[in-house]
Structure 1
């Protein structure tokens, strides 16, 4: 089985909860020495918005693996909506909650509505994404 590599080395989630069939949650501690923070605004270092999207992607892929098996993957195919509302700074914890529903027209598509918050409850981002399921052994 060929594993697709999305970002290396990027761990965009520290922990993932995949217990629910239709929801996934995850968290990530933003550390000042994370290599991707260097230079992402030199005098106001923030966790890049694209990495919040990648955090959701890694959580969704973990959910798919947990509920469909290790041969399944999920590829991001569409960002329908995204809004960034507050920065994530070194020392913050990103907390994600995402609702996953099968596509209405295509059962191989997953619609994901996700919200990212800091540990203080401030909403950092809200987004609607679409992923395509793929059996990597098929």
Structure 2
């Protein structure tokens, strides 16, 4: 298959996202409420709505892709074709290049509002480094991760 790959619609990694470029970094804050009615949580853990930590990775990927346009320098470092060639979700399609570190400190349960604080900087050529500090609404840290993101969606 040549050209852009066809992908299924991703999970909604965030309910809302805000971002600002600061020096050579992009600072993103995304929020996600854990809801038992979200279709991907049905049957994940019997009788308890437990948010899978793996979904934090997609939250990072989606938030950075949606807000990358705010930092032309990071977009250029990533090697994007152009800011006018977004994917169908309105942002740059990014993929996980590597998971450098991950630590889940507390469970994420129904009703928890998760705050994903993501600090994005240039990584190796053609890649971005994203460091996540995930906290519940009460300020308690529940997870931290560092990932490498690369441009995706081409064969």
User: Residues 110 and 133 of structure 1 are in contact (CA less than 8 Å); yes or no, is this contact kept in structure 2?
Assistant: no
SS of aligned partner of 2:40: coil
Which residue of structure 1 aligns with residue 11 of structure 2? 10
Question: Residue 2 of structure 1: CA displacement?
Answer: 4.3
Which residue of structure 1 aligns with residue 32 of structure 2? 28
**1:47-92 deviations in whole A, cap 9, x for unaligned?**
1111111111111111224434242432211001101111111111
Which residue of structure 1 aligns with residue 112 of structure 2? 92
1-side partners of 2:101 and 2:67: how far apart? 21
User: Residues 64 and 73 of structure 1 are in contact (CA less than 8 Å); yes or no, is this contact kept in structure 2?
Assistant: no
Query: Gaps (5+ residues) in structure 1?
Result: none
Which residue of structure 2 aligns with residue 126 of structure 1? 144
For normalisation by structure 1, the TM-score amounts to 0.83
Which residue of structure 1 aligns with residue 59 of structure 2? 55
In the alignment of these two chains, the number of paired residues is: 133
User: Residues 75 and 132 of structure 1 are in contact (CA less than 8 Å); yes or no, is this contact kept in structure 2?
Assistant: yes
For normalisation by structure 2, the TM-score amounts to 0.75
For residue 81 of structure 1, the aligned residue among 97, 101, 107 is 101
2-side partners of 1:135 and 1:65: how far apart? 17
User: Residues 62 and 94 of structure 2 are in contact (CA less than 8 Å); yes or no, is this contact kept in structure 1?
Assistant: no
User: Residues 14 and 32 of structure 2 are in contact (CA less than 8 Å); yes or no, is this contact kept in structure 1?
Assistant: yes
